[in-house]
């Protein structure tokens, strides 16, 4: 990913607004520990599990894989392979590398590479999908990787996963990044970046699950949590993205990079990410911005809830529309969003239009976007009050949000809708 220009919003001064911290004792979702049953017998490997087309159509389940050198799992040119219910990591390379093939699935597994990359790029991703089309990634816990999920593929579904603390280094460091593909759906995921020692404060619970690798202070902070990079027809819906519910310290930006956003529509300066639909996402304390559209034609941003009370260096706005790259930008439909970001000095910026993506409308015609969205500006705090009182802001989903067949065994799993794997 190329380095992004900073937004053109200048703010100085000391934060004077009394910020309302989100209590760590909130229990809206049931984060109690599920009943523990004995796991099935695992196949234990200390070298790479290599899956070839001789195993097309097969399912690989109940593995415990770690390596000191090389990937943990390589799937090379396979079709119809399912990898599930496994513990993958630490890994000397990538967690799971899917190279070519199609119709492959990764379900209900704990994937923890536990290390940043030393060179660019994609040598230590948690899951790396490289031109393997019609892939599904669901119900996993993925943590501590270069990027937790990196994908260059068509017809990709990333649904109901929990992603934690990607380690970078730049230009990677995303929770999810997609590029050079089309028809991608990123839905119902919980994405958390935190500097906390345990998970609980970041998600507003009393969870004591240890954070093995921190973010920001001692490692590369994440760039955009979701980065849609040269991808066409991306649907980003129903995700919960946070830099920590407790990250209310002025200028901290949570655990996010000063140039990062919760969701960004991006470009390589040649190809724009077109036809993105960003809908019904919750974005909390993601630093410089919540949602950014920096490129591309026919973009839609609707019914999202964005609150950042800890802005850091850079432009600092909840939602922005701004042509940042040579490819065309616009039109953009912007409707039903509720957004605020408290800038240094205590002033709010719920929305900023840097130009170049016209028209930006409520419905394809009406350009009075304040009539169909609720944005805070200056000293107004209507959106902030509504968002702080909204239970969907204060209660992230259970972990992982949508398991496929069973609940992955990990230090962070709290989901009770299905039995443990």
pLDDT per residue as tens digits for the range 92-123: 999 999 999 999 999 999 999 998 888 888 88
> From residue 135, how far is each of 173, 185, 254, 265, 335 by CA, in Å?
22, 11, 32, 22, 31
pLDDT in the model for residue 411: 97
Q: How confident is the model at residue 12 (pLDDT cuts 50, 70, 90)?
A: very low
Tell if the pTM clears 0.75, that is, is over it: yes
b/e string for 239-252 if b means 16 or more Cβ within 10 A?
bbbbbbbbbbbbeb
Residue 337 predicted with pLDDT over 90: yes
Work out the burial of residue 388: count CB atoms within 10 Å of its CB; fewer than 13 is exposed, 13-18 middle, 19 or more buried.
middle
Question: What is the spatial order of strands in the sheet that 127-130 belongs to?
Answer: 49-51, 73-76, 96-99, 127-130, 149-152, 176-178, 226-229, 261-266, 289-293, 317-322, 351-355
| CA pair distance 305, 291, nearest whole angstrom | 10
Residue 32 predicted with pLDDT over 60: no
Q: How confident is the model at residue 1 (pLDDT cuts 50, 70, 90)?
A: very low
Residue 252 predicted with pLDDT over 50: no
pLDDT in the model for residue 4: 39
C-beta of residue 328 within 8 angstroms of C-beta of residue 272: yes
Percent of the chain with pLDDT over 70: 85
pLDDT in the model for residue 311: 66
b/e string for 105-140 if b means 16 or more Cβ within 10 A?
bbbbbbbbbbbbbeeebbbbbbbbbeebbbbbbbbb
How close are the terminal C-alpha atoms of the chain, in Å? 36
pLDDT in the model for residue 133: 96
| CA pair distance 178, 153, nearest whole angstrom | 8
Report residue 141: phi and psi, to 5°.
-110, 120
pLDDT in the model for residue 42: 92
Q: How confident is the model at residue 249 (pLDDT cuts 50, 70, 90)?
A: low
Q: How confident is the model at residue 7 (pLDDT cuts 50, 70, 90)?
A: very low
pLDDT in the model for residue 9: 32
pLDDT in the model for residue 2: 38
Question: Which residues in the chain are classed under CATH 2.160.20?
Answer: 42-245+396-421
Class of domain 42-245+396-421: mainly beta
pLDDT in the model for residue 347: 86
Residues 134-181: tens digit of each pLDDT: 999 999 999 999 999 999 999 999 999 999 999 887 778 899 999 988
Q: How confident is the model at residue 257 (pLDDT cuts 50, 70, 90)?
A: low
Mean pLDDT score across all residues of the chain: 87
Q: How confident is the model at residue 255 (pLDDT cuts 50, 70, 90)?
A: low
Residue 217 predicted with pLDDT over 70: no
């Amino acid at each position: 990913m190329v380095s992004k220009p900073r937004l053109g919003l200048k703010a100085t001064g000391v934060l004077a607004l009394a910020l309302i911290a989100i209590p760590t004792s909130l229990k809206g979702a049931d984060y109690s520990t599920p009943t523990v049953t004995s796991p099935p017998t695992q196949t234990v490997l200390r070298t790479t599990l290599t899956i070839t087309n001789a195993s097309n159509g097969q399912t690989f389940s109940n593995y415990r894989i770690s390596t000191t050198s090389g990937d943990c799992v390589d799937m090379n040119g396979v079709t119809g392979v399912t990898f599930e219910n496994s513990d993958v990591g630490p890994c000397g390379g990538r967690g799971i590398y899917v190279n070519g093939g199609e119709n492959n699935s990764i379900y209900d597994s704990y994937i923890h590479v536990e290390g940043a990359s030393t060179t660019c790029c994609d040598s230590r991703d948690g899951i790396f999908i490289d031109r393997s089309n019609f892939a599904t990634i669901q119900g996993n816990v993925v943590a501590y990787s270069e990027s937790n999920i990196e994908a260059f593929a068509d017809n990709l579904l990333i649904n109901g996963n929990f992603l934690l603390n990607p380690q970078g280094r730049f230009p990677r460091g995303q929770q999810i990044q997609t590029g050079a593909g089309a028809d991608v759906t990123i839905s119902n995921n919980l994405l958390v970046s935190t500097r906390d020692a345990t998970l609980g404060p970041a998600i507003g619970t009393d969870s004591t699950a240890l954070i093995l690798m921190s973010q920001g202070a001692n490692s590369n902070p994440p760039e955009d949590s979701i980065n849609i990079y040269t991808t066409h027809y991306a649907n980003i819906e129903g995700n919960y993205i946070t830099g920590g519910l407790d990250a209310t310290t002025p200028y901290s930006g949570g655990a996010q990079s000063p140039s990062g956003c919760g969701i960004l529509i991006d470009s390589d300066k040649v190809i724009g990410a077109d036809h993105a639909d960003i809908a019904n996402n919750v974005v909390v304390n993601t630093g410089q911005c919540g949602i950014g559209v920096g490129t591309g034609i026919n973009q839609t941003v609707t019914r999202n809830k964005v609150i950042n009370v800890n802005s850091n260096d850079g432009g600092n706005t909840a939602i922005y529309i701004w042509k940042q790259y040579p490819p065309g930008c616009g039109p953009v439909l912007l409707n039903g969003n509720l957004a605020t970001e408290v800038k240094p000095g205590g002033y709010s910026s719920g929305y900023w239009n840097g130009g170049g993506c016209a028209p930006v409308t409520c419905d394809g015609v009406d350009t009075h976007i304040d009539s169909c969205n609720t944005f805070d500006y200056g000293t107004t705090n209507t959106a902030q009050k509504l968002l702080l009182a909204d239970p969907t802001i204060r209660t992230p989903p259970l972990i992982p949000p949508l398991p496929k067949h069973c609940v992955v065994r990990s230090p962070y799993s709290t989901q009770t809708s299905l039995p443990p794997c």
